[in-house]
Structure 1
Amino acid sequence: MRILDRYLLSRFLYNFFSSFAILMLIFVFQTIWLFIDDLAGRGLDVMIILKFLFYIMPNLMEKVLPLTVLLASILTFGSIAENYEFAAMKASGISLQRSMRPLIIFVCILGVVVFYFANSVIPASEQKIYNLRKNIGQVKPSTAIVEGAFSDLEGTNMNMKVDRKYGDNDRFLENVIIHRKSDNSINNTVIKAKTGELVSSEGSDILKLVLRDGHYYEDITKKKSTENRKYPFAKSSFEIYTINQDISKLDVNLEEDRSVTTDKMKNVMRLIKDADSIKKNNLIIVETFSKSIYNRAGAFAILSKKDSLDNANFKPLSKDALLLQKAMFDTLNIVSLYPEYQKSQILNAAKNTTTNILASIRSKKDELDKRYKIYNMHIVSLHKKFALGLSCIVLFFVGAPLGAIIRKGGLGVPMVVAILLFLTYYFIGVFSENYAKDGNMSPIIGAWTSTLIMLPLGVFLTKRATEDKGLISFGVVIDLFKNGFKKLMPSRK
């Protein structure tokens, strides 16, 4: 490796790793701020919080790595151009493309590494986050209970208030009040106890709540309103009362609920296989439903051979006879053939059948929209893994020539330019992915939109930097206006 290549590579790597560390720290603090309500005041151990942040870091790589490449390339080439090192290179016959060669090789290798990271590490981290959330709910169920306020226990029919939690894993409770809801979501049961204890074992989905020295109150609803006056409620006291509750859904809501089969937890091979299966299942469901609607409508029913008129011999009718026959068999005229008391019955039956079919179609449409959204999410996740690796290469070709053009080093102007470009890239990607998941555009295009938009910008900037031109040539713009005015204004002799 030549001295120049080694020098440029060392400068770029220094900016790359320093920018990566700073940006990762910023995004980690942003994550803490977003989940501060879930992490603070829950009695979580420091190790659990650190594990959560460690497992969430691979997901942040999707944002940090492209921004790091963009910022590092702008910093490196902006500092070199500012110190007139590019001028010395060009005087020695070294072009911009030649100076970028070692960094291009590095960025291409980085793109392959990023693809492997997106294909293997990020799905594993998603799985770890899911397991961590589930274990928090099973091993430490008291995290879902807040002191001094009623807490709805997700996945159960209860909400609970305690004055104080103490002991190992906050398992002991003081002054417990429980409201239990009925099937129609009415608080018809109140349980109060002086003390309580949460008992659960790792790997179990059952939480045992042992209450001591308390009272039990329940509203009893009778079928007849007159009986409610005789027995309006049941009341009792207890020394020990045990409640067994399913806590499979009782976890800390650190992130929205995810299934273990979500698209973000799958690699490329699994995504291809599952997307193909989902597509086939959707087509089968659509075909089956269309046949069901066809049969329910009763139109164009296939007649049996004995009812078929294909083999019947008819004499050809005249034109007037055909028009008369057509008028006779008009729908309303057919209804008029029936007695008056049957007309309304026929029309009401047809109306009810049509209404039921339309209701079924609307209901099935919502189900199919969800199924096709899942399919689109699989396709988007599949192509995003490839687009993420290519985006690092494209953003390098945006940042390197841009740094050579603006000729500014440090963290001032380069940081502002890099953030503006990255926000443009990021928000275009977010909007296009959301449109693609909803079926408003192709999921393949939605996954590649932001990268494809940045690609011509990289080509344009590289061409401008190679020709040693500025970002915008105001002289060219002024000349365009001058030529336009000359054509509009009449020439004076």
Structure 2
Amino acid sequence: MLKIIDKYILKRYLATFSVMLLLFIPIGIVIDVSEKVNKMIENKVPFKEIAIYYFYFTIHFANFLFPIFLFLSIIWFTSKLANNTEIIAILSSGISFSRFMRPYIIGATIVSVFALIMGIFLAPKANDVYNNFRYTYLIGGGREEMRDNSDVFRQISKDEYIFVSNFSDVSKMAFNFSMEKFKDDKLEYKLTASRIQWNEKKKNYTLYNYNKRKVGPLGDIIESGEKKDTVFHFDLEDLTPVVYIAETLQLKDLNKFIDKEKARGSSNINVYLVVLYKKYSIPVSAFILTIIAVAVSSMKRRGGMGANLAIGITLAFTFVFFDKIFGVLAEKSTMPPIIAVWIPNIIFGILAIYLLRNAKR
């Protein structure tokens, strides 16, 4: 008997969630097309590029609104069970509310594993294609706006530092370049140039109007010139990181990237940490939202399913609102990213415990 009920509820849980995704993704695509079609026509975007973009847009969209889809799907089918007095019948047979929750928890486990896999493996590629398309074809400054291209100061090794005041992604050229190398906390040499350009074919850099001062025990050695080709041990990305680079990296690469940026004293480290922590917080939210949704919709209300959906939509958008607000606070303030990312789950986790206790009564 119990296994039949478990299978029935679990099947409804997964089926409704899948249908909710299939219903809302086309709506999201239609809205996105209506907003961007003029820019696409104006920029003569190839149809192949548009097709690839919207394939990955579905993954990006599903990952972005995952909490809302999950919450509404559970509210929908649980409210139907309550209105049909199926839940009353199940609980009246002697099954406890905690036991009744078991298939929901199993469903939440399946969905959370799916969300974790998507966040680690699928979402990075989707975010890369999505953001590249936006910056290439839809945003005013184009590819220039893809990068943090002004006043970049970075530590590229234990004792080497570089600085550029501005960078052009089109010409692959940076301005007011300087590089300092230290040894035992003492300056060994300083290299400056009015411009530095990356040469794609030769895989080297060209310095313009450069000046190199090497500090020596008997006096400084100065070298200068109008132009010089040379090789450095840093990448073009070290000069101008793509603004959304963390979103495009899989977990292993993201951890390496964050360690590298911490060593360099990157000013954007909180942005990267928020991306990392959300890969774990979103799957956990599946359990919290499932408990809240069941607790809210398992009782018959005077307003019927409409009242449950109204409550569900309000709570779901409140969760997404909190998630975005605290994400921005982590990026722009001194609040530790790990705390900011997990605060929505903590708040709604407390709410889930409270609602679950009331539902049991």
- TM-score, length of structure 1 as denominator length: 0.49
TM-score, normalised with respect to structure 2: 0.66
Distance, in Å, in 1 between the alignment partners of 2:104 and 2:292 is 13
Q: 2:263 aligns with which of 269, 273, 280?
A: 280
1:413 aligns with 2:307: yes
CA–CA separation in structure 1 for the residues paired with 2:342 and 2:141: 42
Distance 1:278 1:45, change over 3 A: closer
Aligned to 1:327: none
> Equivalent pairs: percent with the same residue?
24
Structure 1 residues 56 and 258, CA gap change in structure 2 (3 angstroms): farther
CA distance in 2, matches of 1:447, 1:152: 31
* Aligned match of 1:60: 61
Distance in 1, matches of 2:127 and 2:263, equals 27
Q: Is the 8 A contact 1:130 1:260 kept in 2?
A: no
1:33 Cα deviation after fit: 4.0
Deviations 1:333-363 (A, max 9, x none): xxxxxxxxxxxxxxxxxxxxxxxxxxxxxxx
Question: Structure 1 residues 457, 394: closer, same or farther in 2, change over 3 A?
Answer: same
User: Which of these residues, 400, 406, 409, is aligned with residue 294 of structure 2?
Assistant: 400
* Deviation of the 1:103 alpha carbon: 2.2
Aligned alpha-carbon RMSD (Å): 3.1
In structure 2, the residue matched to 1:86 is 87
State which structure, 1 or 2, has the greater radius of gyration over its C-alpha atoms: 1
2:269 counterpart (368, 372, 375): 375
Q: Aligned partner of 1:268: which letter?
A: L
1:14 to partner: Cα distance: 3.0
Give the SS at the match of 1:405: coil
CA shift, 1:451, in A, is: 1.6
Match of 1:266 among 243, 249, 254: 249
1:410: Cα distance to partner? Answer: 8.1
Note the C-alpha offset of 1:445.
1.2
User: Structure 1: which 5+ residue stretches go unaligned?
Assistant: 138-142, 145-150, 156-203, 206-256, 283-370, 468-493
Q: Distance in 2 between matches of 1:117 and 1:153?
A: 28
| 1:32-51 alignment runs, 5 A limit | 32-51=33-52
Structure 2: 5+ residue runs without aligned partners? 145-199, 202-239
Which residue type is aligned with residue 353 of structure 2? V
The residue identity in structure 2 corresponding to 1:59 is H
What residue number does 1:459 align with?
353
Post-superposition Cα deviations, 1:161-183, rounded to whole Å, max 9, x if no partner, equal xxxxxxxxxxxxxxxxxxxxxxx
Say if 1:275 and 1:378, in contact at 8 Å, map to a contact too.
yes
CA contact under 8 A between 1:78 and 1:408: conserved in structure 2?
no
Tell me: CA distance 1:154–1:387, structure 2 relative to 1, closer, same or farther (3 Å).
Answer: closer
* Structure 1 or 2: more strand by fraction: 2
Partner of 2:340: 446
Note closer, same or farther for the CA distance 1:410–1:64 as it changes in structure 2 (3 Å cut). Answer: farther
Change (3 A) 1:28 1:419: farther
Q: Deviations over 1:77-106 (max 9, x none)?
A: 211111211221122101222122122112
Structure 1 distance, partners of 2:291, 2:143, is 49
Aligned residues of 2:270 and 2:330 also touching (Cα < 8 A)? yes
User: Residue 120 of structure 1 contacts residue 267 of structure 1 at CA under 8 Å; is this kept in 2?
Assistant: yes
Distance across 2 between alignment mates of 1:60 and 1:39: 19
**8 Å Cα contact 1:71-1:414 kept in structure 2:** no
Cα–Cα, structure 1 residues 420 and 260, in superposed 2: closer, same or farther, change >3 Å? closer
Distance 2:38 2:98 in 1: 50
